[in-house]
């Protein structure tokens, strides 16, 4: 069951009055203790300085577009890293005078540690670094901050120039590397050109034109050959027809045709006459004569020419005159055959040339691709090389600037000051805190005790939780003597409170006057 605030307050007041003595004692003890602690609390003087930094990674603008810069590091983080480094702290310690007296390594380490704790580095703005330091001695606080700032700027500059020097070296090494690459590319190009000198002028269009001409010629030749073939065929046909006509003009032929005529006559006569008919006998004789004449003729023909004549050759009687047309045809045929042979030879030659030309063309294409690649290589290398050369010059300028301490934009924005008032907790704070604590702690303890104590103090619980009405509440019986004692005690307590407050004020005044 939750008690209402009013009930709680009533109970707290009641209990406070019961335990008033403990509360007063608690207040006096705690407040005085806190005050004494305040007296002995070491005074801290804090000095600080602000540095404005326009820090940019030097390699970033140099490599802009050429390389990706790593992310910018927090300025204060970098500063902290530097300031808290052992080397840096030792330098500051030496400069401020901590190490004037000979110290053991442990003592030195202890001082370094306390220094580390007392130094604060923080970002107070985008490019502002706040360096602060707390010390019991205001002069030393200021001196330390001065040294911190001085060394910080100095070291930063060294770091910066180191950085730019490294950047220059890096760019320089890149320049060298690209220079080598460029030379290589150049050499490759040169080699290639010298190897493919023949193709230097033989351009693509030239060979193409030649190929086209050759193809035309081949077509032409082929056409001519087919024309010639046709002509030859027709000549041969004509020639064979002409041969039959010439054979009838031979003497033998004449005889034979005479024989045929005579035979026909004889046959006609035999139809009307017998063999004994004179006409028939005459005819028969005539036929016989003819046959003899043929025979004689044949023998005569055979004798001079001997066996030189082939079987296929048509036998031409010397006496028979050769046909002039046939002669002409034969001449023409022979001419035609010669023509065909010539044309065929030309065709082969042309085809060979065409093949060669195509080969040449292919080679030309290949070499052109290689050349383009080599050229491209060369051009890219050259471009980067030129760019790097320019950047190297930039880097050199940056480096020189840093070396002459003109490049880094870092200056003291607000110099260290001599702290007059101690920072942190002062006696006044302790005094006020002591009074508050002196009241709050015992009361808090009482409230906590009441919260935790399960015993019934709120009369409403009887009714609410147990259904028992509260008939009455009997106050504590306080006898005359007790009452008198209580009065005396109350007076005592009030007196003690007054005395303690006076003591408080006295201590405070003494502090202000500088007695304590």
Partner 1 sequence: MSSGIEKALRRANPDAARRGAYAGKAIARVTGKRSKDISRRVEAQQALSRMEESSLLTPDELTARRIISTKTADSPVGNAFRELRGKIFKEFGDEGLVISVISIQADGGSSFVALNLAAAIAFDESRSALIIDCNIDRGSSIKTQLKEGIALGLSDYLESDDIAETDIILQTGIKRVRFVPAGTEFGNPAEHYNSVKFQQFIDAASSRYDNRYVILDTPPILESADTSILVELSDAVVLVVPYGKISSMQLSDALDIIGKEKIMGVVVNNEPEMRSYNKK
Residues making contact with partner 1 (CB under 8 A): 13-15, 17-18, 453-457, 459, 461-462, 465-480, 483, 486-487
The stretches of 63-121 forming alpha helices (DSSP H) are: 75-83, 86-96, 105-118
3-state secondary structure of 46: strand
Closest approach, Cβ 17 to partner 1, in A, equals 6
- C-beta of residue 175 within 8 angstroms of C-beta of residue 388: yes
**DSSP class of residue 122?**
E
β-pairing verdict for 119-123 and 128-135: antiparallel
- Give the C-alpha separation, 277 to 112, whole Å: 176
**Residue with structure tokens 């080969």?**
359
Q: Which is nearer to partner 1, 10 or 508 (CB)?
A: 10
Q: Which is nearer to partner 1, 40 or 477 (CB)?
A: 477
Closest approach, Cβ 471 to partner 1, in A, equals 4
Query: What are the tokens at 442?
Result: 């015992």
- Residue whose C-alpha is closest to residue 326's, from 142, 252, 318, 334: 334
Q: Which is nearer to partner 1, 273 or 462 (CB)?
A: 462
Closest approach, Cβ 456 to partner 1, in A, equals 6
Q: Which is nearer to partner 1, 201 or 472 (CB)?
A: 472
Closest approach, Cβ 15 to partner 1, in A, equals 8
- C-beta of residue 347 within 8 angstroms of C-beta of residue 225: yes
- Residue whose C-alpha is closest to residue 143's, from 47, 44, 43: 47
- Residue whose C-alpha is closest to residue 172's, from 398, 384, 389, 378: 389
Q: Which is nearer to partner 1, 309 or 460 (CB)?
A: 460
Closest approach, Cβ 472 to partner 1, in A, equals 4
- Give the C-alpha separation, 414 to 51, whole Å: 7
Closest approach, Cβ 452 to partner 1, in A, equals 11
Query: What are the tokens at 273?
Result: 């006459």
- Give the C-alpha separation, 305 to 298, whole Å: 11
Closest approach, Cβ 481 to partner 1, in A, equals 9
Q: Which is nearer to partner 1, 244 or 454 (CB)?
A: 454
Closest approach, Cβ 12 to partner 1, in A, equals 12
Q: Which is nearer to partner 1, 278 or 467 (CB)?
A: 467
Q: Could you tell me how far CA 380 lies from the centroid of its own chain?
A: 17
Closest approach, Cβ 457 to partner 1, in A, equals 5
Closest approach, Cβ 30 to partner 1, in A, equals 24
Beta-carbon neighbour count of residue 87 at 10 Å? 10
- Give the C-alpha separation, 242 to 250, whole Å: 14
Q: Which is nearer to partner 1, 237 or 487 (CB)?
A: 487
Query: What are the tokens at 209?
Result: 């034109």
Q: Which is nearer to partner 1, 102 or 479 (CB)?
A: 479
| Residues forming a β-bridge with 48 | 132
Q: Which is nearer to partner 1, 478 or 495 (CB)?
A: 478
Residues 6+ away with beta carbon under 8 Å from 13: none
């Amino acid at each position: 069951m939750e008690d209402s605030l009013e009930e709680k307050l009533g109970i707290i007041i009641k209990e406070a009055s019961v335990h008033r003595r403990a509360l007063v004692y608690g207040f006096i003890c705690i407040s005085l203790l806190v005050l004494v602690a305040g007296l002995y609390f070491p005074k801290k003087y804090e000095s600080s300085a602000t540095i404005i930094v326009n820090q940019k990674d030097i390699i970033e603008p140099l490599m802009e577009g050429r390389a990706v810069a790593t992310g910018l590091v927090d300025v204060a983080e970098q500063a902290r890293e530097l300031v808290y480094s052992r080397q840096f702290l030792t330098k500051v310690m030496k400069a401020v005078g901590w190490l004037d007296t000979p110290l053991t390594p442990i003592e030195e380490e202890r001082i370094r540690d306390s220094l580390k704790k007392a130094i604060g580095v923080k970002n107070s703005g985008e490019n502002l670094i706040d360096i602060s330091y707390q010390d019991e001695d205001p002069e030393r606080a200021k001196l330390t901050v001065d040294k911190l700032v001085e060394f910080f700027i100095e070291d930063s500059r060294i770091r910066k120039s180191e950085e730019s020097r490294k950047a220059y070296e890096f760019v320089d090494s890149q320049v060298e590397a690209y220079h080598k690459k460029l030379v290589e590319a150049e050499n490759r190009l040169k080699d290639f050109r010298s190897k493919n000198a023949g193709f230097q002028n033989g351009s693509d269009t030239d060979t193409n034109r030649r190929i086209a001409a050759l193809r035309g010629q081949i077509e032409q030749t082929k056409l001519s050959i087919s024309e010639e073939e046709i002509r030859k065929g027709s000549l041969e046909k004509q020639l064979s027809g002409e041969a039959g006509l010439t054979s009838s003009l031979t003497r033998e032929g004449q005889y034979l045709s005479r024989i045929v005529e005579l035979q026909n006559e004889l046959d006609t006569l035999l139809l009307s006459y017998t063999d004994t008919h004179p006409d028939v006998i005459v005819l028969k004789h005539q036929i016989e004569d003819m046959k003899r004449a043929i025979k004689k003729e044949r023998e005569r023909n055979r004798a001079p020419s001997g066996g030189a004549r082939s079987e296929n050759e048509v036998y031409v009687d010397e006496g028979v005159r050769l046909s002039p047309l046939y002669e002409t045809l034969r001449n023409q045929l022979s001419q035609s055959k010669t023509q065909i042979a010539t044309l065929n030879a030309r065709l082969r030659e042309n085809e060979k040339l065409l093949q060669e030309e195509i080969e040449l063309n292919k080679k030309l294409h290949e070499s052109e691709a290689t050349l383009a690649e080599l050229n491209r290589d060369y051009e890219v290398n050259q471009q980067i090389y030129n760019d790097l050369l320019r950047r190297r010059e930039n880097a050199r300028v940056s480096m020189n600037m840093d070396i002459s301490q003109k490049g880094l934009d870092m200056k003291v924005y607000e110099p260290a000051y001599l702290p007059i008032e101690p920072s942190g907790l002062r006696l006044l704070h302790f005094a006020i805190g002591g009074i508050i604590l002196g009241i709050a702690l015992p009361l808090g303890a009482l409230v906590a005790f009441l919260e935790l104590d399960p015993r019934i103090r709120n009369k409403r619980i009887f009714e609410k939780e147990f259904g028992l009405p509260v008939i009455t509440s009997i106050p504590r019986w306080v006898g005359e003597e007790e009452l008198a004692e209580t009065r005396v005690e109350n007076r005592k307590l009030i007196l003690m409170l007054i005395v303690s407050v006076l003591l408080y004020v006295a201590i405070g005044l003494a502090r202000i006057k500088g007695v304590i």
